[in-house]
């Protein structure tokens, strides 16, 4: 009888805990979506409700009410990219072909709506759950004590530790045929405009040489990249494999990548800017002064134990240590015009205008800010970097993922480069082709890491390989 009574009490306690969390999820969603986003209320009560998620109400540093440099609400500064860069009618037919029947189209719209709602609940039941970081931190501390290092590719928090101590996530095997076709078609478009074209393959955290026992067994990032380059070669598309150049210059993945994040280091970004410049000089008759991209041409400011990257944040500070972060400052004179049209940002100054100083804010020790986003202001739809010291230099247009955030500012400073136009199609729902036509670059570069490869959602107009 006592055992049954105890079981009943424990059951009611579990019910109570579940009901409590369900109520907090509902209240937080209502507060965020209705009170904050719709009515723009951000008072002490709202901040108390998100006591363990202060970044959601941090209006100064990119929280709910993200502000631009002039203090304007970013939500009110919507940029209609399609109006500025309209699609050709022939390109829009791709979207129509994706749905062949009105019933299927309605069904797809309904599924998308359900998926959107489900995703929102999922986020609030995981990332924004009351005390989430403490639960995850405690669980990861237990896993560390037990010695687990197991993760399924599709599992939430699927972070594993490589032999050199870096954190990574395994990528599954995928079919990259559609990706290669999109790049080949964009190359053909650029040929018609008379501008050069190049595909650049960034490395992934897993290395073919240093992690040979994982490649093709647990992680397929390099196999996917190899397949991509093989198809591009077959289609006659010029490419540059940064994985080979990395090792050719005597660098290792262990030194090139952050330990707690999926990106390569700012130091590696400077190396990549020089490596690309050397290649463009050799293969495309550019005249970029690569001596300006030597590391000894910069002073550095190192912030020790300052940053916990995206993968470290999943494991929490309970399991991994924060790592150092470096900012670079050219020793030579730099004068740049730096524009982010979507943020109404237009500044002229030295190299530091490319830094988003808001992401540097910290009160001591490590902070949860996205310090990687200091470089090039992180991921936005369009960046324009004009080298005012070299008005006759080459115009380079880069279609990129976040890896080039630590490349573009360095590249834009070198003599021989007049302008670097940067397009991130994940945040741009206009026509990439129209953007290229307007900018009329000397070369178009598609620069992706293996994690960007995957299926294209033509309806969203924000897929990594939607170059229409």
241 vs 111 pLDDT, higher one: 241
Average pLDDT on 139-163 reads 64
pLDDT in tens, 308-345: 898 888 888 878 889 999 999 999 999 999 999 998 89
Q: Please tell me the predicted confidence (pLDDT) of residue 72.
A: 52
Q: Is the pLDDT of residue 388 over 50?
A: yes
468 vs 110 pLDDT, higher one: 468
Q: Please tell me the predicted confidence (pLDDT) of residue 148.
A: 59
C-alpha to C-alpha distance for 122 and 100, rounded to whole angstroms = 31
pLDDT in tens, 335-372: 999 999 998 899 999 999 999 988 776 545 666 677 89
Q: Which two tokens stand for residue 422?
A: 């940067």
Q: Is the pLDDT of residue 105 over 80?
A: no
pLDDT in tens, 59-95: 444 444 455 555 554 544 578 999 999 999 888 888 7
Q: Which two tokens stand for residue 150?
A: 């197991």
**CA 152 centroid distance within chain:** 22
Q: Please tell me the predicted confidence (pLDDT) of residue 110.
A: 62
426 vs 144 pLDDT, higher one: 426
231 vs 21 pLDDT, higher one: 231
Which of the residue ranges 6-15, 77-86, 211-220 would you say has the lowest mean pLDDT? Answer: 6-15
pLDDT in tens, 290-313: 999 999 999 999 999 888 898 888
Backbone dihedral region for residue 284 (phi beyond 0: left; psi -120 to 50: alpha; all else: beta): alpha
172 vs 53 pLDDT, higher one: 172
Which of the residue ranges 1-5, 93-97, 145-149, 369-373 would you say has the lowest mean pLDDT? Answer: 145-149
pLDDT category at 254 given cuts 50, 70, 90 is confident
C-alpha to C-alpha distance for 261 and 308, rounded to whole angstroms = 7
Q: Which long-range contacts (CB under 8 A, 24 or more apart) does 113-117 make?
A: none
Going by C-alpha positions, the residue among 420, 413, 342, 418 that lies closest to residue 382 is 342
373 vs 24 pLDDT, higher one: 373
Q: Which residues contact 409 (CB under 8 A, 6 or more apart)?
A: 351, 354, 375, 376, 385
For residue 5, give the 3-state DSSP assignment.
helix
- HEC-encoded secondary structure of 182-233: HHHHHHHHHHHHCCEEEEEECCCCCCCCCCCCCECCCECHHHHHHHHHHHHH
Average model confidence (pLDDT) across the chain: 85
Q: Is the pLDDT of residue 43 over 80?
A: yes
**CA 289 centroid distance within chain:** 29
Q: Please tell me the predicted confidence (pLDDT) of residue 156.
A: 43
pLDDT in tens, 112-133: 556 556 656 666 666 667 876 6
C-alpha to C-alpha distance for 361 and 172, rounded to whole angstroms = 36
Q: Is the pLDDT of residue 228 over 90?
A: yes
Q: Is the pLDDT of residue 33 over 50?
A: yes
C-alpha to C-alpha distance for 25 and 30, rounded to whole angstroms = 9
Q: Please tell me the predicted confidence (pLDDT) of residue 417.
A: 98
C-alpha to C-alpha distance for 436 and 427, rounded to whole angstroms = 16
213 vs 175 pLDDT, higher one: 175
Backbone dihedral region for residue 62 (phi beyond 0: left; psi -120 to 50: alpha; all else: beta): left
C-alpha to C-alpha distance for 311 and 318, rounded to whole angstroms = 13
Whose tokens are 């109404």? That residue is: 344
72 vs 182 pLDDT, higher one: 182
Q: Which two tokens stand for residue 256?
A: 């090139």
User: Which neighbouring-strand residues pair with 299?
Assistant: 329
Percentage of residues in the chain having pLDDT higher than 90: 56
423 vs 8 pLDDT, higher one: 423
Q: Please tell me the predicted confidence (pLDDT) of residue 274.
A: 98
Q: Is the pLDDT of residue 205 over 90?
A: yes
Cα distance from N-terminal residue to C-terminal residue, the chain: 71
Backbone dihedral region for residue 346 (phi beyond 0: left; psi -120 to 50: alpha; all else: beta): beta
Which of the residue ranges 22-36, 158-172, 186-200, 417-431 would you say has the lowest mean pLDDT? Answer: 22-36
């Amino acid at each position: 009888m006592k055992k049954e009574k105890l079981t009943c009490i424990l059951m009611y306690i579990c019910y109570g805990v579940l009901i409590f969390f369900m109520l907090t999820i509902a209240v937080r969603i209502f507060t965020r979506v209705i009170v904050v986003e719709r009515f723009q209320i951000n008072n002490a009560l709202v901040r108390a409700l998100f006591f363990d998620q202060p970044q959601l109400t941090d209006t100064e540093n990119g929280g709910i009410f993200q502000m631009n440099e002039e203090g304007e609400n970013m939500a009110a500064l919507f940029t209609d990219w399609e109006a500025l860069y309209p699609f050709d009618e022939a390109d829009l037919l791709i979207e129509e072909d994706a749905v062949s029947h009105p019933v299927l189209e309605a069904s797809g719209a309904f599924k998308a709506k359900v998926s959107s709602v489900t995703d929102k609940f999922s986020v609030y039941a995981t990332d924004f759950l009351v005390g989430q970081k403490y639960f995850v931190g405690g669980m990861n501390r237990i896993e560390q004590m037990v010695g687990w290092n197991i993760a399924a590719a599709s599992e939430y928090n699927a972070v594993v530790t490589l032999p050199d101590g870096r954190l990574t996530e395994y990528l599954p095997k995928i079919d990259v045929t559609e990706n290669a076709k999109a790049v080949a078609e964009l190359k053909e478009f650029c040929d018609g405009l008379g501008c050069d074209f190049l595909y650049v393959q960034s490395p992934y955290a897993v290395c073919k040489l240093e992690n040979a026992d994982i490649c093709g067994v647990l992680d397929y990032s390099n196999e996917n990249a190899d397949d991509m380059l093989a198809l591009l070669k077959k289609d006659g598309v010029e490419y540059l494999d940064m994985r080979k150049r990395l090792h050719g210059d005597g660098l290792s993945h262990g030194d090139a990548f952050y330990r707690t994040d999926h990106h390569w280091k700012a130091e590696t970004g400077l190396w990549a800017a020089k490596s690309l410049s050397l290649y463009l000089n050799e293969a495309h008759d550019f005249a970029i002064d690569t001596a300006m991209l030597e590391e000894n041409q910069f002073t550095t400011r190192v912030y020790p134990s300052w940053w916990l990257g995206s993968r470290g944040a999943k494991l929490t500070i309970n399991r991994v240590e924060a790592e150092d972060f470096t900012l670079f400052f050219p020793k030579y004179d730099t004068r740049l015009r730096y524009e982010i049209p979507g943020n109404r940002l237009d500044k002229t100054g030295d190299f530091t205008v490319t830094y988003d100083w808001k992401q540097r804010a910290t009160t001591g020790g490590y902070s949860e800010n996205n310090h990687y986003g200091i470089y090039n202001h992180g991921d936005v739809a369009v960046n324009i970097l004009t080298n005012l010291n070299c008005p006759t230099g080459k115009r380079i247009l880069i279609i990129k993922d976040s890896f080039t955030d630590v490349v573009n500012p360095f590249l834009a400073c070198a003599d021989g480069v007049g302008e670097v136009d940067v397009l991130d199609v994940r945040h741009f729902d206009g026509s990439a082709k129209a953007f290229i036509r307007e900018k009329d670059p000397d070369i178009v570069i598609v620069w992706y890491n293996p994690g960007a490869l995957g299926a294209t959602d033509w309806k969203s107009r924000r897929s990594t390989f939607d170059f229409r």
